[in-house]
Structure 1
Amino acid sequence: MDIEIKKSLIAAILQTENEEILEAIKNLLKIEDQADFWDQLSLEDQEAINEGIRQLDEGKSVSYEEAKDLIKTRFGF
């Protein structure tokens, strides 16, 4: 297929507001809706991640070496 035809198709897709056409193109190209991974997480996991980010923002973190030493001390690895 000529590159100009592809460009024309892309332009037409970008310009259309017709949801039926867009849905048909999506189906023809077998494009799946992509869900945000965040929405796939449990509320508990989301809260844990947010807590970790909050701690990092507050400067409450340890280096890799410190974490490795803590694990060695606590679990004997």
Structure 2
Amino acid sequence: MIINIQAEKIELAKMLLNTNDPEIIQSIKQIFKRESSTDFWDDLTTEQQAEINQGISEIENGDLVDFDSFMAKHR
């Protein structure tokens, strides 16, 4: 099923403009706030964050292995 995103957005805007229900409006605001404040980093464990930071540090220090060399060791 292909969704025309622009048409869906227009339909939602019409529905929002036609409602006088403050609970619906507040619910929609909460959805947008929740979506805009979610950062995947916050969902990672401290161990995962440490591993990512270590990888970044290794890259910055030039401690790299090219893909083919890495794969050759694991075949």
Instruction: Say how many residue pairs are matched.
Output: 52
Query: Which of structures 1 and 2 has the bigger CA Rg?
Result: 1
Structure 2 unaligned residues grouped into runs of 5+: 1-9, 14-21
Q: Which residue of 1 aligns with 2:48?
A: 45
RMSD: 2.7
Q: Which residue of 2 aligns with 1:27?
A: 27
Query: Which structure has greater helix proportion?
Result: 2
Which residue, 56, 59, 62 being the options, matches 2:62?
Answer: 59
Higher relative contact order (CA 8 A, sep 6+): 2
Q: Which residue of 2 aligns with 1:69?
A: 72
Give the 4+ runs in structure 1 shifted more than 3 A. Answer: none
Percent identity of equivalent pairs: 31
TM-score by length of 2: 0.55
> Hey, what's the Cα distance between the residues in 1 that align with 2:62 and 2:25?
48
Structure 1 unaligned residues grouped into runs of 5+: 7-20, 73-77
